[in-house]
Structure 1
Amino acid sequence: MSETPKELKSEPSIQQTSQPDRRSPPPPVFQQPLPNQDPSETQQPSHLHSELQLTEFSLTNTSVGHQHQAKLMCIKNRRLLLLLLGFSSCAAILGLIYYMHQKCTLKNISNDYAGAATPCLSQACIRASIRLSMFDDPFTQPCDYFLFTCGSDRFSPDSRGRQRGQGIPGHPQNQNKMAVWPEKRGQRIDGKDRGLTEEKILNRKTVLLQYLREILESIDKSRSSAAQKAKRFYSSCLDTTSIEAAGAEPFLTLIQKVGGWAVSGQWNQTDFNSTLILLMRDYNTFPFFNLYVGKNQNESTNGTTKRYIQIDQPDLLIPIEWNSKTNKSQVKAQTLRPFLLSCQRYLALLGATSSSSMIHEGTFMSLSSELAVASAPLDYRLSQGQLYKRMTIKELQGKAPAIDWLRCLRAVFHPQPLNADDHVLLHNLPYIVHMSSIIGKWLNKYELSSSGPLQTYMVLNLLHTMMPALDSRFSETAHNLSVALGNTEEVVYRWKYCLLETERGFYSVLTHLLSERTTHKEAEEIIQNVFSSFKSKLHELKWIDEKALQSIMKKTQSLIPRLFTTKVISSEAQLDLFFSKVSFSNSFFSNYIQLLSLWQKRRSQFLTYQTEETDILSVTPYIQDNELIFPMGMFTLPLFHPTYPRAMNYGVMGFLIAKDILHLLLPDIYNQSETVHTVGECVWTHYLTVTEKERRGEGFFLSKAQQQEVWVQYSALQIALQAYHQSFTNHPTDTSILGFSYTRLFFSSFSQINCDSDPYHQFMPLEPSFLITVMCVKSNLCPRSLQCPNKTQQNFLQKC
């Protein structure tokens, strides 16, 4: 099935900041107004001076004979003069104090050594110091560290930090071909090697999964029963020895519960719709069409929260391709043989004899091919206006009579009340009509047949649903078919697969556990500081006109940034009650069936949710109504921790937050501000000069998308640094790691971030850490120069 999006999202955003000169006063990123200063105080001396002048003028026009008045005026003038001198002295002292404060602040932030800073000795900081020591330090090895692009294969595997994720499975640099992990079912890699490999990956999604893994594996018996059930499910999934020992027997037993099957034993010739309802309701299996819940996209602009049952084409098992000339899906002859071999293998694993196997293979492929003809890819259905077709269940019944629609939908979405006049949304009505016609034809043709082709079709679809809980022979068969079709699949670590499956059923439990461990105060503070710096950045840009600035400022000012907090089930008592009717054993197959039941229960609840449910695995912010929401999954170790030095938190998380905000709020900034082009070209000139690509004629011009992404990441780093200074001004102390100065720790932490796996990483033409080199050119921000002795042309580079 081609997944239908719930919302059509617009393309993302971008930004910049000017750099300070070593000879100039403190740079703009550090400029602050005088704290707590009343404007009237700064103007008072001039008022007094004017008053003195007026008084003197009146004295010169007064009779000399009025000696007593002159004496009194003289005394008054002296008092005023003394008062003036007093105010002037106070103003001078206050100015000196502020200057010294700013000087000390800058000195504290940019000093080469942080000997006076308190070392951070928390467990999180100890782990962070080990991580920092594993990477090359930009301030001790500046010459070659930054000089490759995202995806470069220039460096060998023994280059440590310079390798930057090249060849790391799952890293965004390798997304063109899915990475293969060394661990398969029942096989573990050495814990030490795994730790070294995964510790070097600062991919946000991988970091979150690792963090959730630690939470699940650390749950003890004192936790709530819901948390214990989540851990029990996760543990049974990891027990591959028991799964392998069980073989196909659990699935053969399940077949009997859904009416039997002619291949594996007696078929009870159950009613077609009854079997279909059973598969959809209890086993989350949708052989002929797909069901989910969501808003009507055509109504979303009106602020409605109403959700509809949405009916779509299914995930077909047979491999097909789209013929753009005939606008039909078709099965290619060269794909039929590997698909037939996989069917034969499945039937053999389920105990079918070779003679009976041929009959079921033939009818299954024939029925699959007929259904596939009416399926269509999402872009075609979108162009034909086939999405979000609204009709009542009664109207749908008239168009596709082979399915008992009201009965099916009531069973799947129980206990939600449904009637024939309720509306549903169709995403491929021609397929639904065609599917009903095919089922009707096969029911009439094979109704009395002992082979039961429709039952075979449904059982093999159920097999693919349950395959994750079966022994490795089944998944290997599926993998071999995928390879034969020219696909490459990611074989993930078993723990990661089990974690993702656990999240499907225990979303609310993991949300609660994650919320308990999220440091809300520190996360909110960094969000607010970065967002404040972002808004100040907007005024520094050169906009094409005032209207463009006002438009984005209006949009920005209307948003309230906040950390996500769930409004759904949250307390342990409520969670225990919700999961009270499910129990888990040591059998993963049995537990997996319970998981499907939980997933179906969650699906039915979507119809009545009044608020959007946030994906717990989300690691980027999103806009909901007038709120800019940051998922809790962003603020996890090793990217963020409340005991970290703030320089480390802002160098990593501050940068990522700023980059996300720029992408989200300024999707098309290139055409709105000339600054994007200027800064993008300036940074690129730095890169070509330092790498000497320009002299060798290897340089190329950046596209608009590349210039914009360079500007985004450069601006994000500036915003993060400014936000850190804002935090440091409010709380002028910080801890340190490895004795690094604050600025050095800020930049060194930032340099650990690999080419981040957001949708824009493909447009970044250089390693993000190179931006440190650009910021440190002719700047008093950095504790040490990053120039290489053999690259004297760097002396002529300008600030961007």
Structure 2
Amino acid sequence: MPPRLPTQAAAPSPPRLPGLRPHAAALPTLRLPSPHPPPRLPGLPESREEWSSRRTLLRWGLLSILLLSLTLVFSVLLFYIFHSCGPRPCESPVCLELVATYLTTGNTSAQPCTDFFSFVCGNLTSVWANESRDILQVLKEKNQNQLRKILETSILWPPDSAEEKTVRFYKACMDTEAIDASGVEPLTQVIEELGGWPISGNWTLPDFNHTLKLLMSRYGSFPFFKAYLRLQPSSPHMPVIQIDQPEFQIPFQPDQKNYPEILRAYLSYLQQLGTLLGGDQKAVSEHASISISITSNLLLAAKHLDQRKREGNLFQETTIAQLQEMAPSIDWLSCLRAIFSSMTLSPSEPIMVHDLEYIRGMSQVIGQAPKDRYRDYLQSHMILQLVSTLIPALDSHFQNAQRNLSQKLQELAGQSLITFSIPRWKKCIEETGTFFEPTLGAMFVQETFSHGSRDAATQLFSEIKNALSRHLKRLRWMGEGSRRETQAKLSQLKVEMGAPEEILKPDAAKQNYQHISFGPSFLQTFLSCSRALRERTLRGFLGPSSSHSWKVSPWEVHAYYSMSDNVAVFPAGLLQPPFFSPDYPSAVNFGAAGSVMAHELMHIFNQYLVPGGCPACDIPTLHGELLCLQQYYESFSLPAGSTFNSSHTLLENAADIGALVIAMQAYRKWQQKHKGETILPRLGLSPYQLFYRSYAQVMCGTPNLKDAQDLHSPPILRVHGPLSNTPTFARYFSCSRGTPMNPDKRCQLW
């Protein structure tokens, strides 16, 4: 409605002429047309048409204002909805810590499309240029510090409980003052229990096989051969005694040019041990020289594992009686009965010998010892070998002797000297983990891997497994029979997350430690724990086997897939920041931990990728893609001094590329089902970019040039190989065609 105008006084009526009646019809008025309406005089009311026009204009004005207001409100609402439903920055402490890690390790001046490895790992590798370290090593050290915190926290555990014994052992190991105060006396008592030796102390001339039995059964020392149990690889998977070479302290390189210098270093080391035990210097030198000679002759009779593999001579099945005929210097039945006291053994007991030629040669070395001093020299050799194995429990003088030997060997190998020694607390954590692994593992999981973390990791694995199951139908080279077989394996696959179930049960480990006694010296405690561990291991083999036996400790950082048990294992030590956290953006978890999970599952395909492993497959297509993959990795340039064998690493390269494909498919599927994804602030990365950034973070490191057994490619290839072979990476990082990370040709194995 138009506003009402103020009321005005009525205008006076015009005068009426005489003779006219009121209301008489007036004469017609002549109206001339006018192009404009006559101007309205001030004070006169508006006409009806003017009122209507003004009312219309006012209505349109109000409507325009209303529409503009609604538009502004709607825009604000859309902005709010967009920002609340789209990726939001994760500002939690664990996310901010991850951002700091990414900014520290990465090199933002590197171009992602040219060198993504430097973009992600550039600063980290420059710091570690001369060390064989990687991001997993950083996580391992973080876990060790967590174990130290657990063991050194002042908690009053129930007396004689598994936790109390675990902490008590660690503290006894750390008490170096008490260990040094005990001196050599505890070790002298052990030597006397073995019959003494001719260098110092009492010497009762014991029987060689009697001493050997005591060494192996009571002290776990195997100077001439190693005996242990292992399950048969084929059904019914019964435990079988294995006979193998011992773990030689001298490097297995008799043909090395500086080998005489290595022998002299060991001779000096053994002389130090004998002198510390109170031996006469002349007698010590004589017996140490004979011990080195015995070890050298044993090495000449042995074959390296690689040579045995090439010859196809890894093991041979025989019986105890047959072994007695082939190697008569050892009383095999008596020794094996002492080692495996819980087993009923007879001469017809089947056993597996891993290097029969070595066992024959070892028997000859023992039989050819100097006749006049036969027992003397063999006894000294066995005592010196035992002392070397017990050094972790001996005083600082023995440990210094071993440290000096390690430094001398590094010099002879041309390696840079490690100027620092391993901290005592790390050594003690290692020993505590060896003897009390179930309890220490449970304590670590309770402290670092909550139920929420375990549930989140299990859900992540489920997404990865489902993505792989869906992807099977897309493999062009796989035959239907192999596809069904793989699908069945996936459906029956078991996953163990964090730690073995049995160690998390209340009082599960208490029975395992009931025979451990804490003696007046740390050496006595150490030996008691060693015996308890051997007995526990033996019972584990002979008892009912209802679950997979873990190959790693819960605090370690390596996952694996067991093909024989069809079990995937992911320890709690790996599922930690910076690789996994329930609070991380899902892109981080899928890219880092998810790709690790997918990598282990890809090993299900190993049997099909080896020559002759998949006769029902499309062989030309499969071989073509494997050849493409091998040549693809060979085309990359490596840092100076780095080498690798593409055929040697082929299966791991295939697993890396497949893992990236599966992890990305799982992440995309997850995004379709879930809303509220977050990102990391300050990085400027979208969720998909963050996925690939997190994948590469797992691979950061420098190549370990010393480990010839490593089947993985150097870290830079583990980043550039899979990512450059993935078209979506180039799309999300806007890499131009022909750049290193967006090549013209890719392989399509997966």
- The answer to whether structure 1 residue 423 and structure 2 residue 350 are counterparts is yes
Cα distance change, pair 793–278 in 1 and its aligned pair in 2 (3 A): closer
Decide whether the 8 Å contact of 2:88 with 2:679 is kept in 1. yes
- The answer to whether structure 1 residue 406 and structure 2 residue 406 are counterparts is no
Decide whether the 8 Å contact of 1:680 with 1:711 is kept in 2. no
Aligned to 2:104: 134
Decide whether the 8 Å contact of 1:655 with 1:717 is kept in 2. yes
Counterparts in 2 of 1:608-619, with a 5 A limit? 608-609=542-543, 610=545, 611-617=547-553, 619=558
Aligned to 2:60: none
Report the AA paired with residue 164 of structure 1.
L
Q: State the alpha-carbon separation in 2 of the partners of residues 345 and 726 from structure 1.
A: 65
Cα distance change, pair 625–578 in 1 and its aligned pair in 2 (3 A): same
- The answer to whether structure 1 residue 473 and structure 2 residue 409 are counterparts is no
Answer with 1 or 2: which has the greater Rg: 2
**How many residues are paired up?**
627
- The answer to whether structure 1 residue 358 and structure 2 residue 358 are counterparts is no
Aligned to 1:395: 322
- The answer to whether structure 1 residue 623 and structure 2 residue 562 are counterparts is yes
Matching residue within 369, 374, 385 for 1:461: 385
- Look up the SS of the partner of 1:420 in the other structure: coil
Decide whether the 8 Å contact of 1:514 with 1:632 is kept in 2. no
Report the AA paired with residue 167 of structure 2.
K
- Look up the SS of the partner of 1:425 in the other structure: strand
Q: TM-score, normalised by structure 2?
A: 0.70
Q: State the alpha-carbon separation in 2 of the partners of residues 478 and 371 from structure 1.
A: 21
Matching residue within 701, 724, 734 for 2:667: 724
Q: State the alpha-carbon separation in 2 of the partners of residues 440 and 569 from structure 1.
A: 47
Deviation of 1:460 after TM superposition, in Å, equals 0.2
Counterparts in 2 of 1:548-563, with a 5 A limit? 550-552=481-483, 554-559=485-490, 560-563=492-495
Q: CA-to-partner distance for each residue in 1:431-484, whole Å, 9 max, x for gaps?
A: 33443344345496336x7xx222111110111111222323222233145236
- Look up the SS of the partner of 1:635 in the other structure: coil
Q: CA-to-partner distance for each residue in 1:1-32, whole Å, 9 max, x for gaps?
A: xxxxxxxxxxxxxxxxxxxxxxxxxxxxxxxx
- The answer to whether structure 1 residue 258 and structure 2 residue 176 are counterparts is no
Decide whether the 8 Å contact of 1:148 with 1:766 is kept in 2. no
Decide whether the 8 Å contact of 1:646 with 1:734 is kept in 2. yes
Q: State the alpha-carbon separation in 2 of the partners of residues 263 and 682 from structure 1.
A: 63
Q: Give me the CA root mean square deviation.
A: 4.6
Matching residue within 501, 514, 518 for 2:431: 501
Counterparts in 2 of 1:114-125, with a 5 A limit? 117=88, 119=90, 121=92, 124-125=94-95
Deviation of 1:292 after TM superposition, in Å, equals 1.3
Aligned to 2:217: 281
Cα distance change, pair 538–164 in 1 and its aligned pair in 2 (3 A): farther
Matching residue within 656, 672, 675 for 2:622: 672
Counterparts in 2 of 1:48-63, with a 5 A limit? none
- Look up the SS of the partner of 2:697 in the other structure: coil
Cα distance change, pair 376–384 in 1 and its aligned pair in 2 (3 A): same
Deviation of 1:608 after TM superposition, in Å, equals 1.2
- Look up the SS of the partner of 1:265 in the other structure: strand
Q: CA-to-partner distance for each residue in 1:724-769, whole Å, 9 max, x for gaps?
A: 2322333323455437753354344334323478944426654727
- The answer to whether structure 1 residue 651 and structure 2 residue 651 are counterparts is no
Cα distance change, pair 551–493 in 1 and its aligned pair in 2 (3 A): farther
**Greater relative contact order (CA < 8 Å, ≥ 6 in sequence):** 1
Question: Structure 1, unaligned stretches of length 5 or more?
Answer: 1-103, 180-197, 324-328, 694-699
Q: State the alpha-carbon separation in 1 of the partners of residues 288 and 514 from structure 2.
A: 42
- The answer to whether structure 1 residue 290 and structure 2 residue 226 are counterparts is yes
Q: State the alpha-carbon separation in 1 of the partners of residues 542 and 494 from structure 2.
A: 25
Cα distance change, pair 315–359 in 1 and its aligned pair in 2 (3 A): same
Cα distance change, pair 481–161 in 1 and its aligned pair in 2 (3 A): closer
Aligned to 1:306: 238
Aligned to 2:509: 575
Q: State the alpha-carbon separation in 2 of the partners of residues 541 and 335 from structure 1.
A: 53
Decide whether the 8 Å contact of 2:502 with 2:508 is kept in 1. no
Q: State the alpha-carbon separation in 2 of the partners of residues 345 and 330 from structure 1.
A: 25
Decide whether the 8 Å contact of 1:370 with 1:438 is kept in 2. yes
Q: State the alpha-carbon separation in 1 of the partners of residues 389 and 147 from structure 2.
A: 25
Q: State the alpha-carbon separation in 2 of the partners of residues 383 and 277 from structure 1.
A: 34
Q: State the alpha-carbon separation in 1 of the partners of residues 83 and 630 from structure 2.
A: 29
> Percent identity over the alignment?
25
Deviation of 1:524 after TM superposition, in Å, equals 1.8
- The answer to whether structure 1 residue 635 and structure 2 residue 585 are counterparts is no
Decide whether the 8 Å contact of 2:330 with 2:363 is kept in 1. yes
Decide whether the 8 Å contact of 1:277 with 1:408 is kept in 2. yes
Decide whether the 8 Å contact of 1:778 with 1:798 is kept in 2. no
Decide whether the 8 Å contact of 1:412 with 1:600 is kept in 2. no
Q: State the alpha-carbon separation in 2 of the partners of residues 225 and 660 from structure 1.
A: 37
Cα distance change, pair 165–118 in 1 and its aligned pair in 2 (3 A): closer
Decide whether the 8 Å contact of 1:146 with 1:767 is kept in 2. no
Aligned to 1:21: none
Q: CA-to-partner distance for each residue in 1:628-675, whole Å, 9 max, x for gaps?
A: 422324423432223333222112101222233334524738961756
Q: TM-score, normalised by structure 1?
A: 0.66
Q: State the alpha-carbon separation in 2 of the partners of residues 276 and 701 from structure 1.
A: 44
Report the AA paired with residue 306 of structure 1.
M
Aligned to 1:195: none
Question: Structure 2, unaligned stretches of length 5 or more?
Answer: 1-77, 611-619, 704-708
Q: State the alpha-carbon separation in 2 of the partners of residues 317 and 625 from structure 1.
A: 32
Q: State the alpha-carbon separation in 2 of the partners of residues 291 and 513 from structure 1.
A: 32
Deviation of 1:257 after TM superposition, in Å, equals 3.0
Q: State the alpha-carbon separation in 2 of the partners of residues 682 and 437 from structure 1.
A: 52
Decide whether the 8 Å contact of 2:328 with 2:363 is kept in 1. yes
Aligned to 2:161: 225
Aligned to 2:128: 168
Q: State the alpha-carbon separation in 1 of the partners of residues 249 and 725 from structure 2.
A: 52
- The answer to whether structure 1 residue 520 and structure 2 residue 454 are counterparts is yes
